[in-house]
Amino acid sequence: MFKIRTYNQLSVRGLNRFDREHYEVASELPHPDAFLLRSQGLHQEDFPATLKAIARAGAGVNNIPLERCNEQGIVVFNAPGANANAVKELVLAGMLLGSRDIYQGMQFVESLGPRDDLDAYLEKEKKRFTGTELMGKTLGVVGLGNIGSLVANLGLALGMKVVGYDPAISVEAAWRLSSDVQKMENLSSVFAHADYVSLHLPVLESTRRLVGDGILGGARNGLVLLNFARGEIVDHPAVLRALDSGKMHRYVTDFPSAETLGHPKVLHTPHIGASTGEAEDNCAVMAADQLMDFLENGNIRNSVNFPAIALPRSTPVRLTISNRNVPRVLNQITAVIAEHEINIVDMLNQSRDAVAYNIIDLAEDPGEDSLAALNGIDEVINLRLLGA
């Protein structure tokens, strides 16, 4: 029986992927094999010794202490692309909120009590809410991954000119991207060319407060900045300065902060980019399927800290071993197995940065002694014996 501890609201369709004969799935579950979660912050959380994997039913993994997971051999999965369309559609709403005074106009209408001259009054006052059109303007997209590539193509469909910047664009994202998207060499060029800039990059040490005074100083006047990525990517005091000076027209963000709340030119949504039924289903189903394949077969798909690896089962006895990625560990592993006179039927070894991972199908059960010897190899982080 595998135990999955859940956090946050997860789609029932995703949770139903786990067959309850073999999986116990609940919040507050002791001795879990895996966590399944959305934005729950884990940085302050101790990990139980039983924990083997964490599946993030979403894209961003800044809520998970990856360094600690690497040290403890915990495999972290995410669900790339599963909520991308939901975010793209909210960005469209954000662009319209930034170009037309929809929100302010609605607030104005709501503030009116019943009055006989309502029509005449609205016709007189509507000049306060004149906006601009998206067509013909330039959209800059920073980060052209699963979400950014959809947003860039959307901009073209709206009749915008689109420029983009991504220093490490993946081959799949490049295939998705229209050739009409103009490539920029750096972040400053995006801001120098664009009327609207939409951020779709992860928060990393290198991207924290990336959008600050320097970048904003070189931006086009009247910039609308859209942040549906993470609040930490933007230097909020710098954004407020740009709004107050008139350099920036609107800041539209899915990440409310104490600094930006209450500013009349900031439009906040409560981190709902991925909050659609469809995205919640897609994310939870993808995360659950990846977890099950890992727990049952040791295969790894869409991990953010371990290599991608999958081997069809060739025998009922499978060993998986995580080790530090240094020379001669594989030799030691195969030597221990040979010393115990067990035949290796099939095996696969992959590495990623400081970690290596092995799937080894054996002709017979290895027994306690050989498992202890394998565990005793200095560089082995952890080991699992999977039955049929």
Ligand X SMILES: NC(=O)C1=CN([C@@H]2O[C@H](COP(=O)(O)OP(=O)(O)OC[C@H]3O[C@@H](n4cnc5c(N)ncnc54)[C@H](O)[C@@H]3O)[C@@H](O)[C@H]2O)C=CC1
Q: For tokens 């951020």, name the residue.
A: 199
Please pick, from the candidates 98, 140, 155, 273, the single residue that binds ligand X as defined by CB under 6 A.
273
> 38 touches which of ligand HPV, ligand X, none (CB within 5 to 8 A by kind)?
ligand HPV
Could you say whether residue 201 binds ligand X (CB under 6 A)?
yes
Could you say whether residue 87 binds ligand X (CB under 6 A)?
yes
> 164 touches which of ligand HPV, ligand X, none (CB within 5 to 8 A by kind)?
none
- Find out whether 316 and 388 touch, Cβ atoms under 8 Å: yes
Nearest to 160, CA basis, from 92, 84, 250, 97:
92
Residues 51-70 within binding reach of ligand HPV (CB under 6 A): 58-60
Closer to ligand HPV at the Cβ: 210 or 362? 210
Could you say whether residue 337 binds ligand X (CB under 6 A)?
no
- Find out whether 252 and 94 touch, Cβ atoms under 8 Å: yes
Residues 268-307 within binding reach of ligand HPV (CB under 6 A): 273-275
> 104 touches which of ligand X, ligand HPV, none (CB within 5 to 8 A by kind)?
none
Q: What residues are labeled active site?
A: 230, 259, 271
User: What percent helix, strand, coil does the chain show, rounded to 5?
Assistant: 35, 20, 45
- Find out whether 138 and 195 touch, Cβ atoms under 8 Å: yes
What residues pair up with 268 in beta bridges, in sequence order?
A: 253
What is the closest distance, in whole angstroms, from the C-beta atom of residue 260 to ligand HPV in the complex? 18
- Find out whether 8 and 37 touch, Cβ atoms under 8 Å: yes
Length of the chain: 388
Please pick, from the candidates 169, 288, 292, 359, the single residue that binds ligand X as defined by CB under 6 A.
169
Q: For tokens 């906040």, name the residue.
A: 268
> 39 touches which of ligand X, ligand HPV, none (CB within 5 to 8 A by kind)?
ligand HPV
Closer to ligand X at the Cβ: 132 or 170? 170
Token reading at 268: 């906040």
Q: How far is CA 373 from CA 171, 257, 338, in A?
A: 42, 52, 12
Residue 121: Cβ within 10 Å count: 12
What is the closest distance, in whole angstroms, from the C-beta atom of residue 281 to ligand HPV in the complex? 12
Q: Which residue is nearest to ligand X (CB)?
A: 145
Q: 276-298 in b/e burial notation, b at 16+ Cβ within 10 A?
A: beebbbbbbbbbbbbbbebbbbb
Could you say whether residue 42 binds ligand X (CB under 6 A)?
no
Grouping H, G, I as helix, E, B as strand and the rest as coil, residue 350 is strand
The footprint of ligand X (CB under 6 A) covers 58-60, 80, 83-84, 87, 142-148, 165-170, 173, 200-203, 206-207, 228-230, 254, 271, 273-274
The footprint of ligand HPV (CB under 6 A) covers 38-39, 58-60, 83, 273-275
